[in-house]
Amino acid sequence: MTPEAEVYRRAMRTTVIALVALAAVAAGVGWLVVGSAGLIAGVAGAAVAALGAIPTQVAMLVSHRQSPQAMAGIVLFSWLGKMVLVVIALVVLAGIDGFHRPMFGITVVVGLILSLGIDMMSLRRSRVPYVDPGT
């Protein structure tokens, strides 16, 4: 496994664990504050945050050994795909009566900020050389 792949795997693993923990916390807080609508909104918010965070990490893991053009294409496709999925999820959730939008919104924002922080810290702590020194 390459050092780059290890960085991407670690970031993805940490993001999944953090978003599962966020879902549990948001569900509990939502249940206490609003009831079952808050519980559902907290879990849905964490799921939408995962839709926003994990496809890019998977695209980077898959494409880091490709040519720059192929990597850009894979990352662009993952971005477009996740945007379509997020819009579909928002349209579906907007049609649910009694859905607690504030709890959902707060959970999505916290989840995305959490995943961006994990990405940043993973890359900052990585020990991947920028160049391949010749002989």
Going residue by residue through the chain, which has 135 residues, state the pLDDT in tens, using 9 for 90 and above: 788 888 889 999 999 999 999 999 999 999 999 999 999 999 999 999 999 899 988 998 999 888 989 999 999 999 999 999 989 999 998 888 888 999 999 999 999 999 999 999 988 888 777 677 776
- Give CA–CA dist 103/41, Å, rounded: 6
Q: What are the structural domain ranges in the chain?
A: 3-119
